[in-house]
Amino acid sequence: MRKTVIVIVSIGLMLFAACKKQTSSEQTLIDNKVDSVLKLMTLEEKIGQLSLYTSDMDQTGAFIRKEYIQDIKQGKVGAIFNAYGAAYTRKLQAMAMNTRMRIPLLFGYDVIHGHRTIFPVPLAEASSWDLGAIELSARVAATEAAAEGLHWTFAPMCDIARDPRWGRVVEGAGEDPFLGSLIAKARVQGFQGSDLSAVNTVAACVKHFAAYGAAQAGRDYHSVDMSERMLRETYLAPYKAAIDAGAVTVMSSFNDLNGIPATANHFLMTEILRNEWNFKGFVVTDYTSIMELMFHGVAADTAQASEMSINAGIDMDMQSGFYNQALEKLVKENKVSEKTIDEAVRRILKVKFQLGLFDDPYRYCNEEREKTTLMKPEFLEAAREVARKSIVLLKNDNNLLPISKQTKNIAVIGTLADNKREMIGSWSAAGNWTKSISLLEGIKASAPQANVLYAKGCNIADDSTQYFAEALNVAKKSDVVILAIGEAAYMSGEAASRSSLDLPGVQLQLVQKIHELGKPVVVVLMNGRPLTINWIGEKIPAILETWFLGTQAGNAIADVLFGDYNPSGKLPITFPRAVGQIPIYYCMKNTGRPMDVNNKYTSKYLDISNEPLYPFGFGLSYTTFEYGEPMLNKKEMTEAEVLTVSIDVKNTGKYKGEEVVQLYIRDLVASVARPVKELKAFQKIELEAGQSKTVTFEISSKELSFYRADMSFGVEKGKFILMIGSNSRDTKNIDFMLN
Ligand code: NOJ
């Protein structure tokens, strides 16, 4: 198996070398500088700092305000988004430098999974369970973005998502708060490094605060209604982890939470974010969400919407232009205090100082650096490495994979096979799809001796079967068929909810026809969400979940298909059997009538099993791992103690491979019903064929605490079960007592 871990590590080190830590005296210095600027500003200039407008270079929302150039020249803008490129940002910055206060603009953009070199979509990266790889991806993205004049990315998206109908599952880390929190932290570290003023870092923006991923019925922008317990236990954790990791900005979400839109939600924006979590950065709205308060039906007009937002704790207005229109009058009417405005401005100026923009407003607009930084060979190599780590092997009957490079005739079929455009997925920033590697190209490069035959088979979403005959012909001539099927990139991401999780168009029919030929078939899935693929799961011998892997997609998939890389990804989200099972996630409650197939009056369906098609944490390898029995260093512990649990894991197959050893915990009896299992730790280990390792986890009160019946956070004495295994379903268990 090929190994490029060393390449990754060295790139990582190289990138981090530029970063230094900001000391507390430097922070105080910045605070003083902020105050000295603030003192000189008029109320109108202050309000200008609270506005963010999109340029017309890219469009990521419903409308563009054409007057943004005018606004910059008049000092009415604090930040611009959707504008990048050293020359262009320099031009806009020069306009800001021509205003009375000469306060530099902040340039933001949705750099979600790479900027020019596109990495796997976030859900794919989460499948790697490799925090170093995820951090590296964000590091490269920041380096490229900062070289193109950008200071600020609207990432990471930290929304827990348990409804695959919601298109934005693709942008997050899946369903689990523990995994999601670690990934959120890794992404913030990657984007921000340890010094925001370094020219290869950008400010992160934790979004979408809060609970955007719990939209009813999986419909984007829809209402969210949930208990405070659910909010705190599950949804808030990744945002908090990102903030604890030092993220300097937060974005409010579009949704209402229990009737109060996030953008007017004092409980979220002030009580939790500022008072409980001590967040010191600034909060920006999502696109026009101040204006949308009127559609929610909580504000009657511009003035009321602005008043509610600023008083709830929203510092910057993205795209509504309401603060510019309404705040001055609201201050005069004493509905908003100037102190509140000052506080918001202070937070924004502070980030500008931290980025070094007051020292040199053009420090990120260096055309020479831009030229030499974008899409460097080592970035492409890193993207390939992260991409192959993101692939999940869902099935591999009779070791059909890896395919031998000596195979004579390989059929590559499917609408996504000879396709570059879809490889980069949604939110691909300034990525240029023409530079991505298609699966067909990847296969040809990896198996140069093979006769590679290609046929499209069908389109992604229409009903036409006109290309079937050609595809069947090609399949007949082959020794193995590789079928690339799934979704188009636009089918997931923002405003891309689906009511069906089936393969679009006639793709399943195509698979069925090819299957009838009796040839060995490998399905390569490309999609932005879990799909309902029961038939394929049952009949097709080998299935790779590849999501959308970015610029290097084709190479990375070929690495796995031919065994140059042994897959190690694990699902960060459950695959349902049917839409009717949603919401379905591994850490559900037991209920008072847990499923019993022999008893009608238990919690189950009449027409389908409760079990998912593929559980959370699931993913195979070309090798096999055998788990021993868990061993405790003691059977009992107290709250102040640490207990250790160890397990032997042996590579019993033929290949070297990586395994994600997962630890789940259940609190058997507590003052509130606890989930049947919760992920509390994992370790990704590498084992040579035949090699064994003892994996040890430490359990302390941290892993056992929860929001008790009275909402205090802590442990309760009693029995706990520890479950260790290679996914959330297949575990070896042992129990202990907390005394
Ligand atoms: C709307 C999206 O919800 C958000 O994620 C994004 O950052 C903004 N638009 C800006 O493009």
3-state DSSP assignment of residue 423: helix
CB-based burial label for 66 (10 Å; 0-12, 13-18, 19+): exposed
Residue with tokens 């591999």: 396
Low-confidence ranges of the chain (pLDDT < 50): 1-14, 16-19
- Give the Å distance between the CA of 489 and the centre of ligand 1: 17
Distances (CA, A) of 79 to 42, 108, 151, 608: 18, 7, 10, 52
Domain residue ranges in the chain: 383-581, 625-738
Burial of 1 (0-12, 13-18, 19+ CB in 10 A): middle
Q: What is the pLDDT of residues 69-115, one digit of tens each?
A: 999 999 999 999 999 999 999 999 999 999 999 999 999 999 999 99
Predicted confidence (pLDDT) per residue in 718-737, tens digit: 999 999 999 999 999 999 99
Catalytic residue among 71, 286, 317, 564: 286
Q: Is the pTM of this model over 0.95?
A: yes
Contact 490, 429 (CB under 8 A): no
Residue owning tokens 């999780």: 501
Q: What is the Cα–Cα distance from 738 to 641, expressed in whole angstroms?
A: 10
Helical (H) or strand (E) element with 306? helix 302-312
- Burial (0-12, 13-18, 19+ Cβ within 10 Å), 635: exposed
**154 C-beta closer than 6 A to ligand 1:** yes
Q: Which atom of ligand 1 is nearest to the CA of 154?
A: 7
Domain 625-738: CATH architecture, name and number where available: Sandwich (2.60)
518: which residues sit within 8 A by CB, 6+ positions away? none
- What pLDDT is stored for residue 5 in this prediction? 42
Q: Kind and range of the H or E element at 152?
A: strand 152-153
Q: What single-letter DSSP state applies at residue 433?
A: G
Task: Decide: 583 in ligand 1 pocket, CB within 6 A.
Answer: no
286 has catalytic annotation: yes
Q: Given CA atoms 161, 703, 613, 541 in this order, what sign does their dihedral have?
A: positive
**Ligand 1 contact, 171 CB (< 6 A):** no
Strand partners, 206: 250
If 0-12 CB within 10 Å is exposed, 13-18 middle and 19+ buried, where does residue 219 land?
A: middle
Which residue's CA is minimally distant from atom 1 of ligand 1? 287
Q: Is ligand 1 within 6 A of the CB of residue 61?
A: yes
Under a CB-based contact definition with an 8 Å cutoff, are residues 134 and 126 in contact? yes
The per-residue pLDDT for 19 is 44
Dist. CA 390 → ligand 1 center (Å): 24
Beta bridge partners of 636: 737
| Res 692: pLDDT | 98
Pocket test for ligand 1, best of 64, 150, 286 (most atoms within 8 A of CB): 286
* CA of 206 relative to ligand 1 center, distance in Å: 11
Of ligand 1's listed atoms, the one at least distance from the Cα of 254 is 3
**DSSP string covering 436-502, please?**
SPPHHHHHHHH-TTSEEEEE--S-SSS---TTHHHHHHHHHT-SEEEEEEE--GGGSSTT---S--S
60 lines ligand 1 (CB under 6 A): yes
| pLDDT number for residue 21 | 56
Ligand 1 centroid to 672 CA: how many Å?
37
Q: Whose alpha carbon is nearest atom 3 of ligand 1?
A: 286
221 lines ligand 1 (CB under 6 A): no
Q: Is the CB of 286 under 6 A from ligand 1?
A: yes
Question: How many whole angstroms from 62 Cα to the centroid of ligand 1?
Answer: 11
Ligand 1 nearest-atom number relative to CA 253 = 3
| Ligand 1 atom closest to the CA of 155, numbered from 1 | 7
pLDDT given at position 22: 65
- Output the pLDDT for position 198: 97
Count of positions (residues) in the chain: 739
Report the topology of domain 383-581. Answer: Rossmann fold (3.40.50)
CB-based contact 482:437 (threshold 8 Å): no
